[in-house]
Amino acid sequence: MSPRRISPASVTRLLGPWRGERVGPAYGQLADSLRLLILDGRLPLDVVLPGERELAQTLEVSRTTVTAALARLRDDGFLDRRQGAGARTRLPGGPGERGAPGPLAGVEAEGLLDLASAAPPASEAVHGAYAAALSALPAHLPHTGYAALGLTSLRQTIAERYSRRGLPTTADQIMVTNGAQHALALMLRLLAGPGDRVVIDHPTYPHAIDAIQRASCRAVPVGLPDHGWDVEGVAAAMSQSGPRLAYFIADFHNPTGRWMSPETRTAIAAAAQRTRTTLIFDETLVDLWLDAPIEPYAFEEPESGLVRLGSTGKSFWGGLRLGWIRADAQTILALAPRRASIDLGTPLLEQLAAVHLLSDDEAALSARRAMLRSRRDHLLGLVRARLPDWRVASPPGGLSLWAELPAPVSSSLAATSERFGVRLAAGPRFGVDGAFERFLRLPFTLPPEDLAKAVDSLVQACARLRPSSSPARASLGAVV
């Protein structure tokens, strides 16, 4: 496979208005801007830049400026040292670390405020749903309790929920899983083998990267631009890397919270169709719109190959471990025997509870959205007031802010903050190869008083960070 190339137009788009923001000669400004793109993961690692002449043309600068800028990036270790055909992006000292596997969900934080996981408490509907499930249980006790594809009644309930929301679905298109992560692991096991490529948006959900890498597949990251998705970049990655799968979080993307427009969905689905890539939309957060209601199914779907993963984990509770795959009926049937190599089915009581929750969920979801909306606004206000040099936007949905820090110190901040009582997941957890040191995910899932305490702690941790020098990676990136 030849290395992935990035087009001159993509570089221009990613650079945006790169002149004027910084001081110094044009070549220095260009070098700084490209360095930032690489550090932030927006310009992926290991892609080949256009030739110098082409770049100069598109960027409307002199060839000397481009040559000098690239030379500086080479000297600083952000491009490989080959001359000629096009330079390849890298990080100084080789691929970075994604950091420790990081705060494990559920490894108790022991008195720490947990800003590492974006998981709200249980919805009020959960206890009642389990009580209803307990009442329905006796009818199932005389049987074996196994159901590789899920209880028929639950598959029916999930199908009806899609139909109600405008996407006609039948029960044979649904497989019940132990959550969306398990659903992704099953799709990987079904469709991808060692060495296969999987296109992802970048940053993305850390456990999705884990699942891809542990399946011995290779993630092909496509950086997210300032707004929306880089459709051209996605299409190029698909046609150049020949991926088996592409995995996107179109609805309140984790960690950025952004939402994919119907036009972008149509375009990405078409690119997937053209390149015979199975497109996976992880809809774990689809219920959590916080501003205007969204219409995730109002776009032109490809005829085949679009797979949706759903979950009750964020809409209701993470302690209820239940998700599903929506695909064509043949794919669902093919999944069942694959599943047996990982586990033998979803607990029956969980399924009965989910039937109850998903049959009539509007009131519960509405209450949850109201709570999250107020926590989001609370956290936004706190960050803007107390950490004014952090850049935060208000996400239209989801569970977290994606804060841009004034310096690439995310990992050192995460290391320092535990001493001040807060557990963080540093930016690089959301990327491959150490990108995103200038970013930090801030979930707004804790109660308001805990959010206030957490921001207090972040302010203290930042103060502690500033005087001393930043660690290795941060010092490399002293670009702002």
Contact positions vs its own copies (CB under 8 A): 101, 104-108, 114, 117, 119-122, 126-127, 130-131, 134, 137-138, 140-149, 152, 178-179, 181-182, 185, 189, 193-194, 207, 210-211, 213-216, 313, 317-322, 336-338, 340-350, 353, 445
- Token pair in block for residue 269: 């689905």
> CB of 340: closest distance to its own copies in angstroms?
5
Query: 378 vs 389, 438, 446, CA distance in Å?
Result: 18, 23, 11
Q: How far is the CB of 172 from its own copies (least distance, A)?
A: 12
What DSSP character marks residue 425? -
Whether 440 and 403 have beta carbons less than 8 Å apart is answered as yes
What pairs with residue 201 in β-bridges? 222
Output 178 or 278, the one with its CB closest to its own copies: 178
CB 463, min distance to its own copies, A:
29
Cβ atoms 32, 479 nearer than 8 A: yes
Q: Report yes or no: 149 and 155 within 8 Å, Cβ to Cβ.
A: yes
Whichever of 229 and 247 has its CB closer to its own copies, that residue is: 247
| DSSP helix/strand/coil, 244 | coil
Q: How far, in whole angstroms, is CA 346 from its chain's centroid?
A: 25
Output the smallest distance, CB 142 to its own copies, in A.
5
Distance, CA of 446 to chain centre: 20
Q: Considering the complex, what minimum distance in angstroms separates the CB of residue 446 from its own copies? A: 10
Shortest CB 215 distance to its own copies, Å: 7
For residues 3 and 337, which CB has a smaller minimum distance to its own copies in the complex? 337
* Residue 81 β-bridge partners: none
Query: Which C-beta is closer to its own copies: that of 340 or that of 463?
Result: 340
- Minimal distance in Å, beta carbon 304 to its own copies? 23
Report the DSSP pairing between strands 197-202 and 174-177.
Answer: unpaired
Residue number, 61 or 322, with CB nearest to its own copies: 322
**Of the candidates 131, 34, 142, which has an alpha carbon nearest to the alpha carbon of residue 87?**
34
- The least CB distance from residue 319 to its own copies, in Å, is 2
Which residue's CB is nearer to its own copies, number 349 or number 459? 349
Distant-in-sequence, close-in-space partners of 466: CB < 8 Å, separation ≥ 6: none
* Least distance (Å) between residue 273 CB and its own copies: 28
**Cβ–Cβ under 8 Å, residues 269 and 302:** yes
Q: What is the DSSP letter of 437?
A: T
Name the token pair of 14: 């990613």
Question: Residues 57, 35: contact at Cβ < 8 Å?
Answer: no
User: At its nearest, how many Å lie between its own copies and the CB of residue 184?
Assistant: 9
Q: φ, ψ for residue 443 (rounded to 5)?
A: -70, 145
Count Cβ atoms below 10 Å from residue 165 Cβ, excluding itself. Answer: 12
Nearer to its own copies, 40 or 114 (CB): 114
CA 165 – CA 396 distance, rounded (Å): 19
User: Of the two residues 48 and 149, which places its CB atom closer to its own copies in the complex?
Assistant: 149
CA distance 442 to 458: 11
Q: 73 or 307: whose CB is closer to its own copies? A: 307
- The torsion of the CA quartet 326, 327, 333, 339, rounded to 10 degrees, works out to -60
Nearer to its own copies, 283 or 350 (CB): 350
The pair of structure tokens assigned to 166 is 């405008």
178 or 416, CB closer to its own copies?
178
> Least separation, in Å, of the C-beta of 349 and its own copies?
6
CB of 119 to its own copies, least distance (A): 4
Residue with tokens 């256009």: 50
- 439 forms beta bridges with 404
- Tell me if residue 52 falls in helix, strand or coil: helix
- The residues, ordered by sequence, that sit 6+ positions from 86 with a Cβ below 8 Å of its Cβ are 5, 48, 49, 50, 51
Name the residue nearer to its own copies (CB basis): 131 or 329: 131
